[in-house]
Every structure is written in C-alpha cells, then in structure tokens.
C-alpha cells in the first residue's frame, strides 16, 4: 500500500502543532514504519494566520471543522479541538458519517458521548482511536486494549492529572499551603481554563471512565465515577501522612466488584515506597492489573506538545498500518451498562483529628471507633502547644459507612475539635 | 469474522501450560475481544502423558513439532520450546513455509536468526510476533513498535533478567556475597539450566538486541551487544555504591550514536532514587526514550507462567483481530546492518580501590587520573583497620579508553593494591 494516508487536523493548539511537527520532521520514518506515506492535506483552527512555530501554509485551510472532517481528500479526521460537545462532536460525527476514521485527544467528548460515537463508527465500518486522551504520551490505551487483552482485568489505577500531582508534591517539598501552590501552578500555565477540571478531578475522571470501559467491557460511565478533588488537602495532612510512611495522591481506581463497577477519582494515601508513592511532579502513572499478568506499571509525561502528539501519531500509524481495533476493545453495540457499586470496597483509612487535652479523651475516641466496628492498626499522638493535640489513626479495613458513622459520633464526644479528616488508604 | 483462530502449541512447559489455561478459562472474553473464537487444535511436547495441571487430551497430539506446525487445522504456530536452533527453528521455518503465522517466546532464536525468519515470513505474507520474548508480561514490544511509532527512538534501557536483579538486590538486602545468593537462586529454581544465560547477561542481551532492532530500524545484531555478567560484582561494591547514592543493576542500553549502534548489557550504577534504582527482586523494567514522548517507563513481571502466557495471548489476539505488523516494525528486507560503535559513549564511572596508607598516596592517584584526562566529581576515603584504605571515586564523564589507561597506571603507582574496580554510571 503506497497511497498516502491523508490527515485533516482540526485544532492547532499545542498538540496540533506537535502533530504537524512530527509529520514534517519524520516523513521518512513514518513512511517506513507505516508502509505508506503519512500526509497532512488540510487543517482548521480558530485563527488562520498566527505564528505557530510551524508552517501550515501548504495545507488546505477550512474555517469550519465540519467542512474539514468531510473533505474528499481526508482519510483520517484528527480532532484536537477539545470540548465535550459543540464543534468537536459535530465534526467527529460528520467525519464518521463521511466514512473517515477518527483520531482524537478529547477525553471529555468520549467520556460523555463515547458509546454513541463508537456505535456510529462501528456501523460505518470506521474506527475512533484516542490514545492521546489518556495519560498523554503513555501508550496505555494500547497496553490495556491489546497488550493485556488475554487477561481478565482486575483493577486499573492511575495518577492521570499531572497538575494535581504537581500541586501535591510541590506542597510537600516546599511546605506550602494548597492556595499558594495553586496560584503558582496557575501562573505557570499548568491549569485548564476552568481549573476545576484539574483540581476537581474531572479531567482525570474522564480518563478513568475510558480505561474502565476497555478494562471491564462496559459502557463508558463517567456519571458513575465518584469524584473528589484535591482542594481540601492540607499541608498538615501531607506532612502527617508522610510521617506514617504515605503520600497523598489524586488516585483513580476502577474495579469490578460483586456489588458492581466501582470507579473513584479521589485523594488516597499510598505507601511512600510504592511506584505511585514515588511519583513526583507532573508525571503520570497508570497501573494495570490482570489475572495472568499481575501488575503492570506505566510511567511517563501525561501532557505537553511532544508526548501528546506522540500518542496521536501512534493512532495515525496504526490506521496507516491497517490496525483496526474497536473503540473500547470490543464491539460497542454489545457493551453493557455496568451496575454502579454504590459504596466503595472496604479499605483502611487515615484519620486525623484534633483531640482536647482532657483525661480520658483518647479512651472516648477509641470507644467510638470500637462501637462503629473500626479497629485501629496504628495510632500516633503528637506533642502540642495548643490546647488540642493532633492525633493520627490508621485503621484496619473498614467501610465508608462505618467511617461516616464514627466521624459524626466523634464530633459528638465533646473531645474532638471539628470533624476528623478521613482519607482512604489504597492498597497498591 | 466468526471462524475460530486455531492454535497449534509446541512446548507444554510453564508458558505453554499458562497459554492453555487462558484459552480454556477465558473463551468468552477472548472471543468478545478478538471478534472470533480462539481455539487450540493441536499440541506437541517432549512427553505426551504427564500431569501438567491442565487437560490437553481434547487436542490432537503430535510428537514432531514440524508436523504440528504444518497441520491443515492450525492457523497460528505457537512456538514455546526454546533453543536458538534445533526443533524450534525447524518448526518455525516449516510453519512459515506452510503459510502459518507464528507467535514465539523464543528470544535466543530471534536474536540469532530473527532477520532470516522475518524475511521468510514477509515473503510468505505471514507475521512473527514475539511479545513474550522480551520482559515477560510487559507489553514492551507493542509499546515500542506501535505505541511510540511516531518517535525517533533515542535510547532503550532495561533491567530484563529478573534472576540477576533478584541476586543483586538480595545481596544488598541480606548482606550476602554473590556465591551464596547464586546458590539460593539456584535452589529456588530461578536459574536457567545453563546459568550463564542469566548471570552472564546473554538472555538479557538477546532481549536488548530485539528491542534495538525495532527502535533503530536495524537488523538484529546480538553479536554487537557488549556483554558483561554480574559474577564479578562484590557485596562491597554494592554497599559502597549505595553509600554514594547508587544501585548496581545489570542494565541494557541501546542507542544510536554518531559512531554507530551501541548495545551494552553490563553492570551499571544508577541513582538509587530513579525508577530503575528502586527496582527490587525479580521484576523487570524497560525505559523507552523518544524525541517526542520523552521517557516512558514500563514495569512488571519479567517471567513466570501467567505473565509470559499473557504476552503470548496478546500476540494471538492481535492476529485474531487482523493486526499484522512487520516483525521488527518495518519491512525486514529493508533493514540495514548497523555499524557497531566500537567504544561506548563517555560516561561517569565509579572507581573503587584499596589504597596503601602511605603519605602522598592519594596525591599519586589524583595525578594519574589527571594525566589520563579524568576529572573527579566526588571522592571518599574510608576509615580502616587494615594497612590499606578503601577509596571511592566518582569521575566526571570519561571514556572507557581513558579509564583503562588510568587503571593500569594506577596499578603501577605502588600505592594501589591490585586493580581498581570500575563500573559505569548510566544517566537515567
């Protein structure tokens, strides 16, 4: 096959420019590896004339991404605009209807409309590939869909928002409070226009929902992801957790349980010595667990021009090579909606509270926990200047329900100031 | 496509049994993911009747793997016998000639005969896949061949022999000498029948040569791999290196340089805090570096029934799905023989010597190094009871030639006992 594979690229932001650079700089390499040339025929973006650091004048220009997506001379529509709806979705649908394959980095669109788009693509005999939508340059969609296809997947975990991990590790290393590091990250341009997408866990939640669909053969269910951001994490918890040998991460976990599909994107404690615990800065890490393979850990840059463009090009080269895998690894029409596990599996928890310096105070705390059926693994009370003492408890496995019961009972003991902080400890 | 993909499996050792288990236990899963059933039609092994923990009575039996490979009712020949030549090679050639695709875990065969086999497969329109040959369950062949296909690969590194890593980390944690831990590993069944394959770096060298071929688009050149085993590593060097913040690993490194292709499988020092440095026990890790993606790290079990069978099944499912990629990522006929870099790129080195307790001894050492053009980054002399003192030096970047010059000059100073130990420090 020596006819070129012709790309139409919509969106010339960071990632789009990265893709153009690879196509321009590595024409020979791409052609040798793909077995055919890879060419850009047309592009589209919000602003036509702008210094992007690459020359796109040789490509046909379309103001309208839908027009781009349906051009005769485009084989693959490369959607790099973003946004769950609007032009990205309209153009993707138009591309499929016009018989084009689609490569996209758009996690929001697929997390929300993935099922319907995958079904449309399947009906049209086209593929939608989205390696760049999850964990940037890490080839995790491929590893899960193809590399571990012989496994029943037992759990998928990941630190998949580099900004959150940057904030949490920077808080620890610099001893700075959340608000200050958030400002720093904002000035460095690390945050999305709507920062809640990052620090609220939404962006990472989108990614988790996509991986869960592949892993468990279920329809993408972003609405079923329990979301909790990092905005409430204090520098005190970071330091105390470190004292007990843990790190706090915004950790995504998806697993199929007897109670249904559990999907969480929440702050968790993980052992400081684990690969996840050792992950510093903006790097991403995904952990895949299968019944045969055991645990596979993948680590790399989760964002940025080069890494994300690398993932887009992997999908493009797959298509050029004739590799055609169903969007979520098996026929979309056959995917079922998973029952949602209403409560997370039991786990040990980290509890931090301020205890009044009164005789018998600790006994009351211990009694409340005992009554709630929660047993204590480790406890530490710190010396203190104030009238209250910080107390840390690592519990044995318990349910969130028992924990909430205990938290409100603790608030009623009269010896605990405010409500205790509780953070799940994930076994990694 | 609902016709089953029919496997003929030659070799029913650990990995073969693992593959049979997956096919038997996950029939539905495999069928949904592949779009067609995956079935075993025939098997072959040295001994027919033997308790293997799986029932293979339902499959046709062949005493001769060549007969198995050429059966009418076999679509994919799964070669799990091992050995670079002999029956494995004969049966693989026969399978290709009979129009079968091949899935193999045989690193030795491909490291030595990969080019010729890949060309034969290509000429016959067949594929040879070998995910299981490199780093067990880690989908690294796929990650490199497909996931990073948009990158010019700049370096491939890896700890790819779990036994060596077990021995080195066990020496450190238990404070035991090499010989004792070697005996332990032997009793635990961790070593190949010919232990030199493990501790001599040969097995890991085979794997490196395969990855280098994909990474750099060159013919597999196992003969071009600089091999050095771990037999000379002392517990003292492990402890001293740890003092300086390093770990000793049997590390594979392949990179294309201006002087040609450099392939090394040798003991190296890496920072204790790096992912490679933190790798404990029998786990494998591969580091892939590309011009766009930056650094990708993959970690997982490098051996064992489940992980290796998982990799075999990934290849089988690829074939069932119609995924057909050239053996080494691009047409074999077009691969060129790389010029071999005769000397490794410059690097910092760790030097350990026993220095006689004489006035001016250290000055002599410093002078010799200076004369050889080697500058010192860090130096440490230890307190001592014997008449000689252990001295550690971390050099700045230097060449192996300069280093050898310095080592023999040091032996001639009359103040250094024996020959200094020199180990390369790899920047990871």
| Domains of chain A from N-terminus onward | 5-133 (3.40.50.720), 140-300 (3.30.360.10), 349-425 (3.30.70.260)
pLDDT for position A192: 87
Tokens 């023989």 belong to B337
Give the nearest partner residue to B32 out of A30, A217, A304, using CB atoms: A217
Rounded to a whole number, what is the distance in Å from the CA of A153 to chain B's nearest CA? 11
Is the model's pTM score more than 0.90?
yes
Q: Give dist(CA B8, CA A426) in Å, integer.
A: 42
Closest in B18, B316, B321 to A325, CB measured = B321
Length of chain A: 428
Helix pair A27-34, A14-25: axis angle to 10 deg: 80
Which of A293, A298, A321 is facing B137, going by the closest CB pair?
A293
Query: Across the strands, what pairs with B6?
Result: B39
Surface of A (200-219) touching B: CB under 8 A: 217
Residues in chain B: 428
Task: Say if residues A281 and A166 touch (Cβ distance below 8 Å).
Answer: yes
Helix (H) or strand (E) holding A312: helix A305-321
Give the residue from chain B lying closest to A296, CA to CA: B300
For residue range B83-103, what is the model confidence (pLDDT) as tens digits?
A: 999 999 999 999 999 999 999
Task: Using the structure block, give the residue that is written with the tokens 């939404």.
Answer: A202
Interface of B with A in 114-143 (CB under 8 A): 131, 137-139, 142-143
Specify burial of residue A218 (Cβ count, 10 A radius: 0-12, 13-18, 19+).
buried
| Residue A74 contacts residue A4 (beta carbons within 8 Å) | no
Please give, rounded to a whole number of angstroms, the shortest distance from the CA of B152 to a CA of chain A. 8
pLDDT bin (cut points 50, 70, 90) of residue B1 is low
Taking CB atoms and an 8 Å limit, are B146 and A318 in contact across chains?
Answer: yes
Q: Which residues of B touch A131 (CB under 8 A)?
A: 147
10-residue mean pLDDT series, chain A (428 residues): 91 97 98 97 95 96 98 98 96 98 98 98 98 98 98 98 96 96 94 93 98 98 97 95 96 96 98 95 96 98 96 98 96 95 92 91 94 95 86 95 93 91 95
The set of catalytic residues of B is: 207
Give the E-state strand segments of A88-203 in sequence order.
101-104, 128-129, 153-159
> Is B278 within 8 Å of chain A by CB?
yes
Contact between B214 and B328 (Cβ < 8 Å): yes
Q: In chain A, which among 168-207 make CB contacts under 8 A with chain B?
A: none
Which residue out of A127, A149, A288, A319 would a mutagenesis test of the B interface target, given it has the greatest number of B Cβ atoms within 10 Å?
A149
Q: Are B211 and B144 in contact (CB under 8 A)?
A: yes
Rg (CA), chain B: 24
Note whether B77 and B100 are within 8 A (CB): yes
Euclidean distance between CA atoms B185 and B27, whole angstroms: 36
Residue A187 annotated as catalytic? no
Residue A338 — left, alpha, or beta (φ > 0 → left; ψ -120 to 50 → alpha)?
Answer: beta
The ipTM (two decimal places) reads: 0.96
Summarize pLDDT for B48-83 with one digit per residue, the tens: 999 999 999 999 999 999 999 999 999 999 999 999
Helix (H) / strand (E) element for A79: namely strand A76-79
Tokens 């050095």 — which residue?
B228
Tell me what pLDDT residue A383 has.
Answer: 84
Residue B273 has pLDDT above 70, yes or no: yes
B44-B46-B47 Cα angle (round to 5): 95
The pLDDT, as a whole number, for residue B424 is: 97
Q: Residue B99 — φ and ψ, nearest 5°?
A: 80, 25
What was the pLDDT predicted at A384?
77
Model pLDDT, residue A1? 52
What residues in A contact B327, CB-CB < 8 Å? none
Q: How far is B289 from chain A (nearest CA, A)?
A: 10
Phi-psi region of B354 (alpha: psi -120 to 50; beta: other; left: phi over 0): beta
Inter-chain CB proximity B142 and A137 less than 8 Å? no
């Amino acid at each position: 096959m020596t006819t070129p594979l012709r790309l139409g690229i919509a969106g010339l932001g960071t990632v789009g420019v990265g893709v153009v650079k690879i196509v321009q700089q590595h024409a020979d390499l791409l052609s040798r590896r793909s077995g055919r040339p890879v060419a850009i025929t047309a592009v589209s973006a919000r602003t036509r004339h702008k210094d992007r650091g690459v020359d796109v004048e040789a490509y046909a220009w379309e103001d309208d991404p839908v027009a781009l997506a349906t051009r005769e001379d485009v084989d693959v529509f490369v959607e790099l605009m973003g946004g769950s709806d609007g032009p990205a979705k309209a153009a993707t649908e138009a591309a499929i209807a016009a018989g084009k394959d689609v490569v996209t980095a758009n996690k929001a669109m697929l997390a929300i409309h993935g099922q319907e788009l995958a079904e449309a693509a399947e009906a049209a005999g086209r593929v939608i590939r989205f390696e760049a939508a999850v964990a940037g340059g890490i080839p995790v969609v491929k590893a899960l869909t193809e590399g571990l296809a012989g496994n029943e997947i037992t759990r998928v975990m990941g630190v998949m928002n580099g900004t959150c991990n940057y904030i949490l590790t920077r808080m620890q290393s610099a001893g700075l409070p959340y608000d200050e590091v958030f400002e720093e990250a904002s000035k460095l341009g690390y945050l999305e226009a709507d920062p809640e997408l990052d620090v609220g866990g939404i962006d990472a939640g989108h990614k988790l929902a996509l991986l869960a669909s592949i892993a468990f053969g279920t329809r993408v269910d972003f609405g079923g992801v329990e979301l909790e951001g990092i905005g409430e994490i204090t520098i005190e918890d970071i330091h105390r957790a470190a004292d007990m040998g843990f790190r706090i991460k915004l950790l995504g976990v998806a697993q199929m349980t007897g109670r249904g599909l559990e999907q969480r994107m929440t702050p968790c404690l993980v052992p400081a010595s684990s690969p996840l615990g050792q992950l510093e800065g903006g790097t991403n890490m995904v952990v895949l667990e299968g019944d045969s393979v055991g645990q596979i850990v993948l680590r790399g840059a989760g964002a940025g021009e080069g890494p994300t463009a690398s993932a887009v090009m992997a999908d493009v080269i797959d298509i050029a090579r004739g590799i055609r895998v169903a969007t979520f690894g098996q026929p979309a029409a056959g995917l079922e909606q998973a029952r949602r596990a209403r409560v997370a599996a039991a786990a040990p928890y980290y509890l931090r509270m301020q205890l009044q310096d009164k005789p018998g105070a600790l006994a009351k705390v211990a009694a409340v926990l005992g009554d709630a059926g929660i047993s204590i693994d480790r406890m530490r009370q710190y010396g203190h200047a104030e009238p209250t003492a910080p107390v840390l408890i690592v519990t044995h496995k318990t349910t969130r329900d028992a924990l909430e019961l205990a938290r409100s009972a603790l608030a009623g003991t009269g010896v605990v100031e405010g409500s205790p902080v509780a953070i799940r400890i994930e076994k990694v």
